[in-house]
Amino acid sequence: MTATTAPSAHRALPTGQRSRERSPGATLFLVLLWASLLVAFATLVTLLVSTVVEAGDRLGPTLLTEYPSSRPEEAGARPAVLGSLWVIGTTAVLSVPLGIAAAVHLEEFADRHSRVNRLLELNIQNLSAIPSIIYGMLAIGTLSLIGVQNKNIVIGGALALALLILPVIIISTREALRAVPREQRQASLALGATELQTTWRVTLPAAVPGISTGTILALSRALGEAAPLLLLGALVFISFDPNGLLSGFTTMPIQIFGWTNSPQAGFRELAAAASVLLVVILLAMNALAIIIRNRSQRRW
């Protein structure tokens, strides 16, 4: 989706007829194009500004150090921040190795012409576009199948999110592997390395920037996701630090959702403050991914 494969040569195209290029119709068209970009950027800026304004003086260290409370002036999001860390950490451990392994199989070893593999690819593409809330239903289905009574546990949430982002990791890793030139593999094979040695020592290291870009984007998506966790019952009042895989949890998006639902204005402010915190973290992760991608656009 974010592949940057634009040939830019046509921009050097000489535009001999300046007058036609500047005709009223053409100018209006260009203004419309600008306007459509402006909608996106103006909304982004308005969203950030209005949320910061609404958050007011709640943006402070108490947001990170205090536990939720029925009195908004004392409440903070400490368990939610820690819960997010636990859940995302576990999600990464579950999904990243699996996703990379699957991508390596599909890209390096699988026969792309076989019907089975084509179906596999179709399936992964489809999974990446299934609504996230469906993954919550999958998680509660799976957990009740293995007889777990209390579904609001870190490992349950991580399971739902890991399955949700697995297709995204697979697709972006495949793109990264595909960008490694064949000559690199051929050189390695010519030196007598086996196919697996080639993959492990040549192809994968060369694809690391692309893989990490995709992984960071996928994890940031998981970090901002609330819908699947709602189904697991993560919207509860938690006044302790989560401390393990079987511990109860809440996460920042869920906490924001909970506060958004409260009629008291104080909780609205808290929701805004937590939103600012979450957006800053996510934008930082996105920016990091974009920087890695731009830095690593290596010409072979």
Q: Which of residues 163-202 bind other proteins (CB under 8 A)?
A: 163, 166-167, 170, 177-178, 180-183, 185-186, 189-190, 192-196, 198-199
In terms of Cα–Cα distance, which of 68, 26, 16 is closest to 257? 68
Name the DSSP letter for residue 66.
Answer: P
- The 60-99 site mask, x for binding other proteins (CB under 8 A), equals --------------------------------------xx
C-beta of 253: minimal distance to other proteins in Å?
4
152 φ, ψ to 5°?
-85, 70
In terms of Cα–Cα distance, which of 166, 174, 133 is closest to 257? 133
Residue closer to other proteins by CB (options 246, 283) is 283
Residue closer to other proteins by CB (options 27, 243) is 27
**Sole residue written with tokens 């194009």:** 33
d(CA 159, CA 60) in angstroms, rounded, equals: 32
Which residues, in sequence order, are bridge partners of residue 153?
248
Q: Does 264 participate in binding other proteins (rule CB under 8 A)?
A: no
Query: In 146-203, where does DSSP find H-type helix?
Result: 154-178, 182-190, 195-198
Residues in region 201-260 near other proteins by CB under 8 A: 203, 217, 220, 223-227, 230-231, 233, 235, 253, 256-257, 260
Q: Could you give the 3-state DSSP secondary structure of residue 237?
A: coil
Residue closer to other proteins by CB (options 56, 244) is 56
Task: Give the pair of three-digit tokens for residue 276.
Answer: 């600012």
- The 115-154 site mask, x for binding other proteins (CB under 8 A), equals -----x-xxxxxx-xxxxxxxxxx-xxx-xx---------
Residue closer to other proteins by CB (options 93, 101) is 101
Residue closer to other proteins by CB (options 74, 195) is 195
- The 2-31 site mask, x for binding other proteins (CB under 8 A), equals xxxxxxxxxx-x-x-x--xx-x-xx--xx-
Number of residues in contact with other proteins under rule CB under 8 A = 126
In 266-275, which positions are buried (b, 16+ CB within 10 angstroms) versus exposed (e)?
ebbbbbbbbb
